[in-house]
Amino acid sequence: RNFKSRTACRNDINRLNAPFLAIYESLIPPEEEKGKQKQLMKLLEKLVSKEWPEARLYLYGSCANSFGVSKSDVDVCMTFEDPDVNKPEVLLKLAEILESDNLQNVQALTRARVPIVKLMDPATGISCDICINNVLAVVNTKLLRDYAKIDVRLRQLVFIVKHWAKSRGVNETYQGTLSSYAYVLMCIHFLQQRQPAILPCLQGMERTYAVTVDDIECAYFDQVDKLSGFGSRNRESIAQLVWAFFSYWAYCHDYTNDVISIRTGSIISKRAKDWTRRVGNDRHLICIEDPFETSHDLGRVVDRNSIGVLREEFERAAEIMQNDPNPCVTLFEPY
Ligand code: CTP
Ligand code: MG
């Protein structure tokens, strides 16, 4: 009831479609960036295959899931058949190879949670992280990309939400706020539960794609070309959806009891997942289930302090969408 009365006031919401779409368009990477990424991948493949002929390279993250804005870093995963390959050893050797080929800012971070080598390619200006055997990330990248093909409003919403999160400083996992990956899952969940739904639940449908990674079965309907009209019964505009997204996280989500789950296409209870109390460093103050690694809560980085920051930011954004004469500027003001 409260929510309804709040949303009833603004009757000029569709006036905001054009400026939101303009922001979305301005964030789309130009076609030439794809070419540069390919050029870098070719170089990396050449260098890697000399030392490890059996290794494969895959793009993952925002450069491959279609949610990357212009000038994003490129995430690369190097895979070996051997699941027990010595990652620090490979990464140190790889760093050596990259340095001697004149790649810049080469750094092996062998003790990070996800060990990587960082580099910058002077020929393309692209920065890149390379990790090893992170196949689940390659698979969840495909899932996200497939969702994006179903309805363009997902990509529009994600670009605007990521732009907002970066502007407001709430896209910093090391400070207890959420990863870009978490925000994409929040957007997919949100569009799945709209009435009528804008996105289906691909993991609840016939399995046309299935792989097993680290003992986890990853399966879903990936023939998304067949779903291109799925959301058309819902005519909500991007401005309405941005507003409703922030209102959902500001006023409607039950932070005490609920877990959002794109795997099931619905809300599940914290109790059912045993996410009701802090275990180690996982506090479960905002719960976002990973679609494949279902024991993984993307909200686990959030702590007592940062949950307050996040919720205040959701409320600020909802308030701006409700009342501000110029939300397309105010929403993204640096914090
Ligand atoms: N990932 C994951 N589990 C996490 C965080 C990330 O599996 N807890 C994987 C996902 O495949 C994700 C990729 O790592 O797509 C990169 O994560 P992130 O940097 O959060 O997202 P990007 O889409 O690369 O966003 P950005 O544009 O901010 O780099
Ligand atoms: Mg990235």
Residues 124-140 have pLDDT tens digits of 999 999 999 999 999 99
**For range 26-39, the mean pLDDT:** 96
Pairwise CA distance, residues 109 & 88, whole Å: 8
The confidence score (pLDDT) of residue 166 equals: 98
C-beta of residue 209 within 8 angstroms of C-beta of residue 199? no
**CA dihedral over 252, 267, 216, 151, signed as positive or negative:** negative
Local confidence band at 10 (pLDDT 50, 70, 90 cut-offs):
confident
Question: Looking at ligand 1, which atom is closest to the CA of residue 182?
Answer: 20
Residues 6+ apart with CB under 8 A from 298: 178, 179, 181, 182, 185, 288, 289, 290
Global pTM?
0.96
Q: Is the pLDDT of residue 118 over 80?
A: yes
The confidence score (pLDDT) of residue 5 equals: 45
Q: Is the pLDDT of residue 90 over 60?
A: yes
Does the C-beta of 75 come closer than 6 Å to ligand 1? yes
CA of 108 to the centre of ligand 2 (A): 17
**CA dihedral over 95, 100, 101, 107, signed as positive or negative:** positive
**For range 318-330, the mean pLDDT:** 96
Protein residue with its CA nearest to atom 6 in ligand 1? 181
The confidence score (pLDDT) of residue 281 equals: 87
Mapping DSSP onto H, E and C, the string for 71-112 reads: CCCEEEEEECCCCCCCHHHHHHHHHHHHHHCCCEEEEEECCC
Q: Is the pLDDT of residue 3 over 90?
A: no
C-beta of residue 179 within 8 angstroms of C-beta of residue 75? no
ipTM > 0.85 (yes/no):
yes
Local confidence band at 9 (pLDDT 50, 70, 90 cut-offs):
low
CA distances from 273 to 101, 267, 287, 292 (A): 48, 12, 10, 14
The confidence score (pLDDT) of residue 1 equals: 40
C-beta of residue 281 within 8 angstroms of C-beta of residue 304? no
Does the C-beta of 61 come closer than 6 Å to ligand 1? yes
Beta strands in the chain (DSSP E): 56-60, 74-79, 104-109, 116-121, 126-132, 209-213, 216-220, 258-261, 266-269, 287-288
Q: Are strands 74-79 and 56-60 parallel, antiparallel or unpaired?
A: antiparallel
Question: Looking at ligand 1, which atom is closest to the CA of residue 67?
Answer: 23
